[in-house]
Structure 1
């Protein structure tokens, strides 16, 4: 990819989001990182501006593009399906086609919500997608667009992303635990909480393997091991707060039927990550072990 010992040029889209920010922080030494976001970065790009995508990439000529930008408002996507599709599919196809022209690698994140959630075994990469909601459908279209346009790609499906910054379930639960007497959380949706720092770390490990063996291009599932419900995830957070001496609300498990949302969610969306573990040559840690260091760094007051 880089001739003559030059630095690898890495362009990170969505660089101010949860995963994008971690990718910038964890970028390997001897890599030239170009952070790109809609605003707040020296180089800006809005993926809705389809005409701007190819010219920007052709000007900067990155060796690798990591696309951590997406339309992720799951319920809103039911009303803004065209907009979600423009960002999650059409723009992604343009990224892939342009990187095919430039001869570089495209790394892209997708979602467990491409699956219907009606099976009991963790989903493998070979299982057929059947998204229940517009968000999942547009992300699936994006996967297909990449596969159609550019063979040198890594599509990484992940799930239930959280971090100590941004808008996510961890921060919401910490806030509600401290500000409400009772918090009711859905207990019949099963998946795997996945921390943004973990996603960035594993992405760079996989990139290193890909550089040595480009035939590793393709689709991978990327989450920690194990699974839980949203209620189980919340219980871990609440237990930690109490152990640290903070008051925490009473936590109550409820069925999805008592928390209706515009978009339907899969009841079971745990991903089988054995393909990724085989490439990395090591088992991935359980989700509880990935959560623990973030809980230790957490300042509960910071979310109020």
Structure 2
């Protein structure tokens, strides 16, 4: 069963994932923050009435600021998804809600599966978990897709920052005690659009590029892809960069449920990085 992209609505359309989705599905209707307040039930009901599938990429992602502004984080990450899910439940539309590795404690030594216990250690993670729970309890035909370390290589994300620092600095210090799976936004977008055509897929899924590395490994890979000496990137531990919100030491998500559903696995992270930088 397929869903026409003309009836696909994308919230958070101006973020890196939303932009990637609209490039791959130009017939979809995109709503940025200025176009639609996802916490406003009346506005959401009016805007999304024609949609058969709603793909929610809207999120408050300022992880450190969330520690001192939990109200804003919970509004976007919990109330917003609840409002979207309620609207979808009323109209019969499907909701695909994008979530995060931060819903876990980040203390595992094996990839987190979809059924593993959650235990967020930050306001951001707690707000995203609250959003997941609201979606799953709404009665809507919904899927939660957790992902991690999303980038495009443009301004503002880690890969883009490493591209800039390679030009500006002789050496760069990068933490080597946090492990995760870098996820190229266009690859994730393609996976989500495949999920649009799979209403029978499980309710909770994980989707990242395959494999795992540290931020240090990723930074060295960026330098290598740029033709620069990767040894200009030096390892350090997280204590060198104290932040209001603790980062998970382990963010690797298991792709078991995604693969068992017959969805196309996302390619290895290094191949995706090469595509992003070539």
Once the two structures are superposed, the pairs formed by residues 184-195 of structure 1 within 5 Å of their partners are 184-195=173-184
Tell me which residue corresponds to 1:105: 94
Tell me which residue corresponds to 1:301: none
> Which of 233, 236, 253 pairs up with 2:235?
253
Is 1:78 matched up with 2:60?
no
Is 1:219 matched up with 2:179?
no
Distance change >3 Å, CA 99–CA 264, structure 1 → 2: same
> Which of 166, 169, 174 pairs up with 1:180?
169
Aligned residues of 2:9 and 2:29 also touching (Cα < 8 A): yes
Is 1:67 matched up with 2:52?
no
Separation in structure 1 between the aligned mates of residue 237 and residue 216 of structure 2, nearest angstrom: 10
Q: What do you get for the CA RMSD once the two structures are aligned?
A: 2.1
Separation in structure 1 between the aligned mates of residue 166 and residue 5 of structure 2, nearest angstrom: 46
Q: How much has 1:248 moved relative to structure 2?
A: 7.6
User: Given the two structures, how large is their TM-score scaled by the length of structure 1?
Assistant: 0.86
Once the two structures are superposed, the pairs formed by residues 34-49 of structure 1 within 5 Å of their partners are 34-39=29-34, 44-49=35-40
Tell me which residue corresponds to 1:131: 120
Q: How much has 1:217 moved relative to structure 2?
A: 4.3
1:11 aligns to what SS in structure 2?
Answer: strand
User: Given the two structures, how large is their TM-score scaled by the length of structure 2?
Assistant: 0.93
Structure 1 unmatched runs, 5+: 297-304
Q: How much has 1:277 moved relative to structure 2?
A: 1.1
Q: How much has 1:239 moved relative to structure 2?
A: 1.2
Tell me which residue corresponds to 1:269: 251
Q: How much has 1:285 moved relative to structure 2?
A: 1.9
Give every structure 1 segment of 4 or more consecutive aligned residues whose post-TM-superposition deviation is greater than 6 Å: none
Separation in structure 1 between the aligned mates of residue 89 and residue 248 of structure 2, nearest angstrom: 34
**Structure ID, larger Rg:** 1
Tell me which residue corresponds to 2:12: 14
